[in-house]
Structure 1
Amino acid sequence: MQNQIKSLQNPKIKFLNQLKDKSRVRKKEKSFVIEGQREIGLAIKGGYSITQLYYCPSIISFEQVTELIKLISQDIEYFEITQEIYQKLAYRTTTEGIIAIAISKDLSIENFNLATKNPLILVAEAPEKPGNIGALLRTADAAQLDAVFIANPKTDIYNPNIIRSSVGCLFTNNVAIGSSIDIIKFLQLHKINIYGAALQASVNYHTQNYNKPTAIVVGTEATGLSKDFLDNTTQNIKIPMSGVIDSMNVSVAAGILIFEAKRQRNFIG
């Protein structure tokens, strides 16, 4: 059914704002907010259930909204909202006039199933900045990795800033979340080689063979990898640098390492 909402004090708008801004509300309600046609479309394609749509007719036509609704298998509610309300809800200045509420998935590593016998996996340990997490997800999507594991995340994976900075690639990757120990156990159980991006006892990254089951693990720029990972890597690897500093942005480093592995696997774009 379609309804019009014209007040910022409407209970649905208040709830939408809470869902957007508060991780504890997202976890309690097992729902999250998606902004933008492309991102909503990717979420639907990724198997997420959309329960509500809110659209601003001065930005997006009802015909465009209808095209999205056609992609959704279940019945949903959709609401027309004013531009004032939309501007209060929207994160982006350049926007597409539509916001959705979706149901969260259980992304725990315990429930993750590998779809291939020779996977290439990115593991990000303790990522905190939504922009970095989004960039890592975009890189993983570009390389068509088999999975992205987030170990000890410091930020709710359904944070709207992660969805925005990933340009919806949260929904195009196979993502799993767990503690460092649980992810290490998973990798060891499936006999996946663990290559940790670290300076300690490391060799240049391009000297290694990534053609067998491989996980490339990156840590934070501030603290690097935890002892848990450092004690369990197959080999630590480093990117040779010629500058004064000995580190680079985690998403840049991950991209270099991932695409070397893809090159070795005869990746054709």
Structure 2
Amino acid sequence: MQKHISSLQNPLIKQILQLGEKSRERKKQGLFVVEGQREISLAMKGSYEIETLLFCSEIITSEALTLLQKEISANYETIEISKEVYEKLAYRTTTEGVIAICKTKKLTLSQLNISNKNPLILVAEAPEKPGNIGALLRTADAANVDAVIIANPKTDMYNPNIIRSSVGCVFTNQIAIGNTSEIIQFLKDKKIAMYCAALQASIPYHTCDFKTSSAIVVGTEADGLSEDWLQNSTQNIIIPMQGEIDSMNVSVAAGILIFEAKRQRNFK
């Protein structure tokens, strides 16, 4: 018999709310919440394991639910929830009637599988705003970079706002997390050049050769990159500003730099 939840006081509903709101709970339980048909589908393609699938039959059609369930291979529990419960759980105003509880992955440097002989990697140091992280992941997916590495993140990658702003690209990219020194050593060991976006001792980005193994490294608009990156940089690069300000949004800057590298590589 199909399980049905209509009470906001149900322990599972309270657990899901905590997973959505608290990074500590996501880390403690090894679980996170994914909302929306496309995002859940992308999580499946990214080899994430679903533990529970919750749906609201007043919103999602039986056909759409069946199609989604066909993509899920592992054993999982399916629970129907009332519209009131769904609206309490849902982050998005334009809802699709389905939510999944998934198991997190250990996003370590050692688990990166970089098969490209001349990889292109995006590194972002200390990104704080989920919207910026999501935009960076969308850019990385659009350019099909080999990996995204986050140094000293201010939030975990399973924050619902990151999943939402990345439109599921948190599942389509190879992602690793580490501290700055670990990542620098990782790139050195792999003989990957580090091109750091910085004002000091920099050259215009389009004059660099990104055709060999390259990591494009960006920092925050407020603080830029830490001294460790500047001391280990292969070459600092700059996007020439032609207006009154001397910086731009980190995700916009990363997009310009990454797609210049892709242009040089003939978008391969």
Instruction: Specify the alignment match of 1:167 in structure 2.
Output: 167
Mapped to 2, the partners of 1:103 and 1:14 lie a distance apart of 17
Shift of 1:248: 0.2
Instruction: Tell me, yes or no, if structure 1 residue 244 matches structure 2 residue 268.
Output: no
Instruction: Summarize deviations over 1:138-194 as a string: whole Å, max 9, x none.
Output: 000000000000000001110000000000000000111100111100100010000
Mapped to 2, the partners of 1:18 and 1:263 lie a distance apart of 44
| 8 Å Cα contact 2:112-2:147 kept in structure 1 | no
| 8 Å Cα contact 2:195-2:217 kept in structure 1 | yes
Instruction: Specify the alignment match of 1:116 in structure 2.
Output: 116
The letter of the residue matching 1:186 is F
Q: Share of identical aligned residues, percent?
A: 67
Q: Secondary structure at the match of 2:251?
A: helix
Instruction: Tell me, yes or no, if structure 1 residue 87 matches structure 2 residue 67.
Output: no
Mapped to 1, the partners of 2:116 and 2:94 lie a distance apart of 39
How many residue pairs align between the two structures? 268
Mapped to 2, the partners of 1:2 and 1:19 lie a distance apart of 24
Mapped to 2, the partners of 1:202 and 1:261 lie a distance apart of 17
CA-atom RMSD, angstroms? Answer: 0.9
Mapped to 1, the partners of 2:13 and 2:78 lie a distance apart of 13
Shift of 1:88: 0.7
Mapped to 2, the partners of 1:232 and 1:2 lie a distance apart of 58
Stretches of structure 1 lacking an aligned partner (at least 5 in a row): none
Instruction: Specify the alignment match of 2:266 in structure 1.
Output: 266
Matches within 5 A, 1:44-63: 44-63=44-63
Q: Secondary structure at the match of 2:169?
A: coil
Instruction: Summarize deviations over 1:21-73 as a string: whole Å, max 9, x none.
Output: 11111001111000000000000011000110111111102332122111111
Instruction: Specify the alignment match of 1:156 in structure 2.
Output: 156
| 8 Å Cα contact 1:2-1:77 kept in structure 2 | no
Instruction: Tell me, yes or no, if structure 1 residue 70 matches structure 2 residue 70.
Output: yes
Shift of 1:111: 2.7
| 8 Å Cα contact 2:2-2:80 kept in structure 1 | yes
Instruction: Tell me, yes or no, if structure 1 residue 185 matches structure 2 residue 171.
Output: no
Mapped to 2, the partners of 1:112 and 1:172 lie a distance apart of 13
Shift of 1:110: 2.9
Q: Secondary structure at the match of 2:194?
A: strand
What is the TM-score of this pair, normalised by structure 1? 0.98
Instruction: Specify the alignment match of 1:197 in structure 2.
Output: 197
Mapped to 2, the partners of 1:97 and 1:132 lie a distance apart of 26
The letter of the residue matching 1:170 is V
Q: Secondary structure at the match of 1:80?
A: strand
Mapped to 2, the partners of 1:121 and 1:110 lie a distance apart of 15
Stretches of structure 2 lacking an aligned partner (at least 5 in a row): none
Instruction: Specify the alignment match of 2:24 in structure 1.
Output: 24
Instruction: Tell me, yes or no, if structure 1 residue 254 matches structure 2 residue 236.
Output: no
Q: Secondary structure at the match of 1:181?
A: helix
Question: Which of structure 1's runs of 4+ aligned residues deviate more than 6 A?
Answer: none
The letter of the residue matching 1:233 is S
Instruction: Specify the alignment match of 2:211 in structure 1.
Output: 211
Q: Secondary structure at the match of 2:102?
A: strand
Mapped to 2, the partners of 1:227 and 1:181 lie a distance apart of 11
Mapped to 1, the partners of 2:64 and 2:249 lie a distance apart of 38
Mapped to 1, the partners of 2:167 and 2:157 lie a distance apart of 14
Mapped to 1, the partners of 2:2 and 2:257 lie a distance apart of 48
